[in-house]
Amino acid sequence: RMLADLSLYNEFRSWKDDPTMDRSCPFLDKIYQEDIFPCLTFSKSELASAVLEAVENNTLSIEPVGLQPIRFVKASAVECGGPKKCALTGQSKSCKHRIKLGDSSNYYYISPFCRYRITSVCNFFTYIRYIQQGLVKQQDVDQMFWEVMQLRKEMSLAKLGYFKEEL
């Protein structure tokens, strides 16, 4: 395969020699700017920042809605959205999933569009964490790079609004 971006490839190679989750390293900085920030930018920016932090800390959970009884709770629940209102965009959408950040007891209802954006970023983080922890043993550096590129492609598709309904 042709190398699309030689500078990113070289940044990846040097990152892989000493993997860090520090977003200021050249390899991750570029992906944050081009993929992660745009993917996790939502109109409810405070909640969007909290989502990014939870993704980085690996403390975000997503679960299907409908497995739990609907409880009518305090007024702050409005900010959490609901089965028909996305907490990240404020739009009236059918929300089949909800997220929880860290040990907060709040759940936030999210649309399929937001869910795909979040999961595509989570998938990227999961893979680079595996590399950092030395768990990716079956692939050479080129294969790892192409996997990173595939995960970037997923983030780009999610950012543009392409998503699989049943993800």
Q: Tens of pLDDT along 15-37? A: 999 999 999 999 999 999 999 99
Write out pLDDT tens, residues 80-103.
777 789 999 999 988 999 999 988
Distances (CA, A) of 142 to 114, 147, 148: 31, 9, 10
Residue 68 in this model has a pLDDT that exceeds 60: no
- The percent of residues in the chain predicted with pLDDT above 90, rounded, is 69
- Torsion over CA: 157, 158, 164, 167 (sign): positive
Residue 77 in this model has a pLDDT that exceeds 80: no
**pLDDT for the residue numbered 4:** 66
Q: Taking the complete model, does pTM exceed 0.75, yes or no?
A: yes
What are the φ/ψ torsions at residue 87 (nearest 5 degrees)?
Answer: -70, -25
Q: What angle do CA 144, 164, 48 make, to 5 degrees?
A: 75
